[in-house]
């Protein structure tokens, strides 16, 4: 930073020096004025006439001398014109010098990115402390803004020493957390160049490629994962990445196969088992392989049928009897009753909570008079009992109650 300001100051001083030199030179009086030039010219012509007369070139010298004297008298400047002008004061250059400094600094502050430069130097000052906090498991976790600043400091450090494998890995993971695909990919590529056989580097690189929205990145990750699985076919992390990669490319049978292999490697009490099972069900649904269905028959009580609103909307929701958040929902306009329909995983509220993964279900059917998804007083509804679900259940629901 000090060197930068030294250069800026030197350039400004050089510009000021040029301005002052040009101003001082313009103040110098002319070395030869008009009157002096006329006299010199007159003396030179007299000398030439003497030479011509001596050589016999001219016969009458005196008339020419008189003519030359008359020309000299005519060309003599007036006293006002010949009076020397008042020299310009050096102080008039001061406003120009001040203006030069102000304009130069103003242009730099406007276009030179000084705030960014100051922020970058501040990041450099904070970098050691941020890095120490990241590596200390007992320290307060870094915020996203602090991670971004750490990433900037890390990139600067790697420009000075690009051979630090650990730093490239750290930068790649920071890029993943910040959802900065370009930074993460570049960092892991540089790490791979330093350690092409490092499994951790290859896994990290494959993960960022798998999570990329670019299909070409996904295909590259698939090739990497396939090669690594040949060396370690039971690696849980590899299986998980391969399954996710296949699912994102809509290769659902492969995804199911990887997840099923992964289940055989996980302990039965591992919390990841439930997530893998839900993922398998989701892949089966997406592939059209899911056969779990909930069949419903909806009827109206006699009193309800007489009070149906003409523009009502029917909402069907399925819960697991534990969470108030529905597992599956369906919205239908009012039609003829009794009504028969089926629900499956395509009606799931969230991909991670599929109907086929439930062991018990409870169905609620509500008729909204104004079409609102929020229950309101006066709406008619009906509920089923909490019933075990094996994937092929048949339930009947009667709409016979009114919302208080």
pLDDT in tens, 342-377: 888 778 887 667 888 888 999 999 988 877 888 888
**By three-state DSSP, how is residue 117 classified?**
helix
pLDDT recorded at residue 77: 57
What is the distance of C-alpha 248 from the center of its chain?
23
Q: Residue 297's closest CA among 396, 368, 376?
A: 396
The string over 107-141, giving b where at least 16 C-beta atoms fall within 10 Å of a residue's C-beta and e elsewhere, is: eeeeeeeeeeeeebeebeeebeebbeebeeeeeee
**At residue 19, does pLDDT exceed 90?**
no
| Architecture field, domain 293-402 | Sandwich (2.60)
Domain boundaries, the chain: 120-133+141-286, 293-402
Between 9-13, 78-82, 187-191, 344-348, the lowest mean confidence (pLDDT) is in 78-82
Which of 38 and 252 is assigned the larger pLDDT? 252
pLDDT recorded at residue 364: 93
Residues 311-322: tens digit of each pLDDT:
788 999 999 988
Pick the CATH number of 120-133+141-286 from 1.10.10.60, 1.10.40.30, 1.25.40.10, 1.10.260.40: 1.25.40.10
Mean pLDDT, residues 53-74: 70
pLDDT recorded at residue 242: 93
- Determine contact, residues 104/12, Cβ cutoff 8 Å: yes
Residues 103-151: tens digit of each pLDDT:
776 776 666 565 665 665 666 777 788 888 888 888 888 888 888 888 8
DSSP class of residue 349 equals S
Distance CA 26, CA 339 (A): 103
> How long a stretch of residues is the chain?
404
pLDDT recorded at residue 398: 92
């Amino acid at each position: 930073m000090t060197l930068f300001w030294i250069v800026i100051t030197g350039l400004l001083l050089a510009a000021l020096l040029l301005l002052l030199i040009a101003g001082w030179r313009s103040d110098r009086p002319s070395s030869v004025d008009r009157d002096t030039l006329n006299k010199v010219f007159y003396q030179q012509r007299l000398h030439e006439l003497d030479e011509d007369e001596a050589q016999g070139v001219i016969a009458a010298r005196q008339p020419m001398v008189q003519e030359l004297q008359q020309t000299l008298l005519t060309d003599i400047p007036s006293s006002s014109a010949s009076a020397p002008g008042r020299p310009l004061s050096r102080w008039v250059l001061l406003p120009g010098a001040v203006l030069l400094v102000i304009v130069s600094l103003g242009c730099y502050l406007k276009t030179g990115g000084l705030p960014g430069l100051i922020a970058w130097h501040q990041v450099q000052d904070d970098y050691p402390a941020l890095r120490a906090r990241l590596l200390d498991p007992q320290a307060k976790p870094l915020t996203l803004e602090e991670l971004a600043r750490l990433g900037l400091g890390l990139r600067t450090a790697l420009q000075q020493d690009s051979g630090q494998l650990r730093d490239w890995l750290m930068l790649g993971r920071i890029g993943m957390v910040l959802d900065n695909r370009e930074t993460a990919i570049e960092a892991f590529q540089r790490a791979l160049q330093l350690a092409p056989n490092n499994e951790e580097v290859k896994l990290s690189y494959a993960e960022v490629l798998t999570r990329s929205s670019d299909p070409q990145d996904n295909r590259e990750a698939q090739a990497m994962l396939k090669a690594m699985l040949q060396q370690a076919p039971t690696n849980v992390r590899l299986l998980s990445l391969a399954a996710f990669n296949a699912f994102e490319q809509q290769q659902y049978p492969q995804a199911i196969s990887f997840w099923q292999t992964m289940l055989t490697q996980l302990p039965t009490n591992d919390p990841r088992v439930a997530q893998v099972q839900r993922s398998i069900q989701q892949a089966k649904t997406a592939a059209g392989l899911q056969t779990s269905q909930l069949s419903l028959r909806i009827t109206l009580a006699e009193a309800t049928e007489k009070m149906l609103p003409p523009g009502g909307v029917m909402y069907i929701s399925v819960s697991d009897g534990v969470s108030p958040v529905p597992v599956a929902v369906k919205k239908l306009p009012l039609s003829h009753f009794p009504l028969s329909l089926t629900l499956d995983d395509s009606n799931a509220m969230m991909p991670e909570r599929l109907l086929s993964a439930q062991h018990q279900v409870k169905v609620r059917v509500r008729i909204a008079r104004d079409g609102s998804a929020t229950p309101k007083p006066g709406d008619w509804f009906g509920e089923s009992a909490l019933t075990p679900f094996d994937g092929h259940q048949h339930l009947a629901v009667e709409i016979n109650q009114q919302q208080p």
